[in-house]
Chains A and B, each alone.
Chain A
Amino acid sequence: MSQIAANKPAPDITGMQEADWQARLDKIASDPRMNEDNTTISAASVRKAAMLMLIIGAVGILVTLIGAVSINFRHALGAFEVGVFTALAISLGSLFWILVFHSLNASWPITLRRQFENIASTIWVPVIMIVIVALIEVTQGGVLLTWLDRSGGYNHLLDVKAPYLNAPFFMVRILIYAMIWIGISHILLKWSRKSDETGDRTLGRKARFLSGAGIPLFALSTAFASFDFLMSLDYRFFSTMWGVYYFASCGLASLSAVAIVATLLRKAGKLDGLVTEEHFHDLGKLIFAFVVFWAYISFSQYFLIWYSNIPEETMWYISRQQHGWQWLFVTMTIGHFALPFLLLIWRKTKRTTMLLCGMGIYLLVMVVLDMVWIIRPMVYLNTTATDPGLAGIWLDIAGVVGVLGIFGGVVALKIPKSPLLPLKDPMLHECLHHKNYV
């Protein structure tokens, strides 16, 4: 008896017996949906798409670089950052969802979880990019982050904020964020892949444990990263909501991205019967929830600042509403909230693969516009340079497409490296029979 106890990893006395667990694994393995053709995708079949995205990305980056030299360096950096923070939002949000799924022991998203894991562990791409941005900012003495430029002499605000807003601490913080994000996402992917091979169900418990601890780390790192790069674009501005505001985009962007990836996999004839309309329905509900959450957060932030009308806060909105960016304000109100709200409340949108994929693409564009709203108005504020008009728009597009192309290409290359779902997840049997009933 003691020998058996020593050999088997039975977690506790009321837990499942090893034999039962093996029987369940066998049953799942014999499920016709779980055949290898359905659960894996060959590297060859994604290579073409991945290469296309990488080439588009490289061209985009090249155009941005040309724009940096020929049009305006600040503008090119701003366009690049719009892309970087969209890509970061996608991968950070995916990390968030993995943490949530594990902590809640959620079973419905298991067949989708590997895609979240693939996207989250590609976070090194935007992380390298923000390191590049930070190095450019620090070495150039502040391009968009004007607080890095202390040549102006006495500045009360910058003097007060100097213990936080200074180059060395800024770089240290980025290092900490990078360690948290890359560390957690890689460990979780590693365990998930390992359980595919070993069927070790204790890994599920370990993942839950790490996820619980990871949530506060995620919250703080995401909030402060958004302060460092986005809020401090105008060092005078401050908003306690800011971290939550960026987080809302993270949650939404990642769900949209996964809806797209899952649809593409389904179109490639994979995950048939494993990612069904029921899973899309739930994914769609979460997308809907985050459309509303984003609106709630951004409205609250806007409304409280507008109502109180204190100059030190309203200048952030004034610089966006009175300098040719009014159209974006209207576009965001309707396009980022009202329209997707009405479309997603419809059951069919959530349950139809292509429709939800379309919503995903559309909402990613909206997240990009949200980043444009945050970053782009700062480029020509308080400078003598003028916006180059149409050429500037092409530069913006090039920056975003460049970053997202490379990010998407790397994700695509990652997808074939492991099965398309966690094959031996402890709760997979529930996911395979997932129904919404309503």
Chain B
Amino acid sequence: MSDTHPDQTIALQASGIASVQPVARRQPIIPGTKDDGTLSEDPTLRAPLVLGDRSFSEVTDIVCGYAEAPMPKIWLTAFTIAASVAGIANVMILYLIITGVGVWGLNNQVDWAWDITNFVFWIGIGHAGTLISAILCLLKQNWRTAVNRAAEAMTIFAVICAGIFPGIHVGRAWMAWFLAPVPNSNGIWPNFRSPLLWDVFAVSTYATVSLLFWYMGMIPDVATLRDRATLRLHKGVSRGFKMPMPLGDGLALGFMPKPDQIRVLAYGVMALGWRFSSRHWHRYEKAYLMLAGISTPLVLSVHSIVSFDFATSVIPGWHTTIFPPYFVAGAVFGGFAMVLWLLIPLRLFLPNFSDLLTLRHLENMSKIILLTGTMVGFAYSMEFFMAWYGANEYEFAVFANNRVNPAKAPYWWAYWTMIICNVGFPQVFWFRKMRQNPLVIWIVASAVTVGMWFERFVIIVTSIHRAFLPGEWHMFFPTWVDILTFVGSCGIFMTLFLLFLKFLPIFALSELKIVMPQSHTDDHH
């Protein structure tokens, strides 16, 4: 290296020709333990947030490397599967639109089932991103820097998945624009007193602000990617375009523009002329804080309004006053579970990822899972207690006869799945060893994700499948279209997330650097 010009070294490093990833970890896991150096319980110390004694430029190399160097092979496999599953969703939606909602298992009694379950499930998943980027920012929780970008991306993708269902469940999808109050010649307006309309406003506001927040936060990092690509082009170390597919892998395609040329263009447009001037940074910080302030009420309002969809009604099992905060806690719970579920495997597959997402980060998020899981458990117990205490026999019957009692409730398995997954599983996090074991965390996160889907299913279906007259009692059975639409929405989510991993900066670079020790040379300690 010594005989190369420093610029050339940087360019080679940045190009993915030389090793992009600084591989050697100078601070390996403490011998004889599973501690990566962040797990100290000594109350006098703060755990390091970036491991390996990295310099700023190494962190830049690591993070930009994910978007510049080829992804590991498993990414392509995962992407192929996810994209195919996403394709199924499109086929199912098309089938639904040309045939009608009759292709789902809905009936006269259970007129909301998997569609709204999926909607609430996905919109809930999104909440972790906003919580991490807004509320944890205001609370100055520095560890959020390792996960905020990925969680915000996940928020956007989850909201996209959520947005599908209200649009298609109305039956005549070409009339979906009636969801919004658009002036029309028939003078027909949506009911402004209906929580369903507020939902449209709440979710679209949420989507807009989350997107702005995510995008604005990404601008400096995208500019870094742009500048690195420009540098490589100038230094002549840019690679040519090669076939990325399993078939003909590595085949050079001379007629294609170089990837770096595409990068300069795409990232250049996205970076909005960002030049890293201190004036830019100043405005960026201000805007970030303001967006954090605007997003904070949104964390609460969106799922509160979703809960109004149910709680403003007089249906036993739906009408209960704790729904708004209970839904919010559940959404954060489910969202964090999804963040962990997505990010823990990346520690295995992406080089140096575990230096930026340390065991301490996982432990902190496990604690949030424990906290929000217990809050959800508190809400379950309040609901159950009040269903009895309120002495309304119909309310109590929804719990006892529709949910809890296996002898009477056909959906008892759904209720108990929910309880075990949401209240039971997280309790293992009372034990330190469990919070520090990525495999255990991943299993709990999977259970919670399942449990949170079942929570919405239990709330929706078990409450309405038996009305006041036994003649109106109907079970709900999902059809293959129901099932494949949901599975397909998972495919859409995963496809988008995998694309994000490949093409965008998956860590917030500047924020990551702020929490590194080098940024605190002025500290007195």
Contacts and interface: CB of A to CB of B under 8 A. Distances in A.
Interface in A138-172: 156-157, 160-161, 164
B43 A201 contact: yes
Interface stretch (B106-114, B375-383, B414-422, B494-502): B375-383
Nearest to A244: B325
Contacts of B312: 303-304, 307-308
B127 to A, nearest CB: 15
A341 to B, nearest CB: 11
A240 B44 contact: no
B391 interface: yes
Contact of B41 (A15, A215, A244, A285): A15
Interface of A: 10-16, 21, 24, 105, 156-157, 160-161, 164, 201-202, 204-205, 208, 212, 215-216, 219-220, 223, 227, 238-244, 285, 292, 296-297, 300-301, 303-305, 307-310, 312, 426-427, 429, 433, 438
A438 B289 contact: yes
A205 B525 contact: no
Interface stretch (B315-323, B346-354, B450-458): B315-323
Contact of A241 (B289, B322, B389): B322
Which 4 residue pairs of A and B lie closest in terms of their CB atoms, listed nearest first?
Answer: A15-B42, A204-B43, A240-B322, A241-B321
A208 B40 CA distance: 14
A323 B120 CA distance: 41
B386 interface: yes
A433 B524 contact: yes
Contacts of A10: 42
B389 A239 contact: no
Contacts of A105: 43
B42 A238 contact: no
B518 to A, nearest CB: 18
Contacts of B40: 11-12, 14-15
Contact of B390 (A238, A241, A307): A238
Contacts, number: 126
A131 to B, nearest CB: 23
Interface of B: 30, 33, 35, 37, 39-45, 138, 285, 289, 297, 300, 304, 308, 311-314, 319-325, 371, 374, 378-379, 382-383, 386, 389-392, 430, 523-525
A156 B391 contact: yes
9 contacts: A12-B35, A161-B391, A215-B371, A240-B322, A240-B323, A240-B383, A240-B386, A285-B138, A300-B325
B53 to A, nearest CB: 14
B42 A201 contact: yes
Contacts of A426: 42-44
Nearest to B288: A438
A427 B43 contact: yes
A429 B379 CA distance: 39
A332 B314 CA distance: 27
Given A240-B322, A308-B319, A300 B304 contact: yes
A219 B378 contact: yes
Nearest to B322: A240
B321 A301 contact: yes
Given A14-B30, A238-B389, A438-B289, A205 B43 contact: yes
A422 B285 CA distance: 34
Contact of B525 (A157, A240, A301, A429): A429
B322 A244 contact: yes
Contacts of A241: 321-322, 325
B428 to A, nearest CB: 14
B319 A304 contact: yes
Contacts of A204: 43-44
A205 B320 CA distance: 39
Contacts of A12: 35, 39-42
A205 B40 CA distance: 11
Nearest to A25: B44
Contacts of B39: 12, 14
A239 B374 contact: no
Given A205-B41, A240-B383, A308-B314, A300 B30 contact: no
A16 B386 contact: no
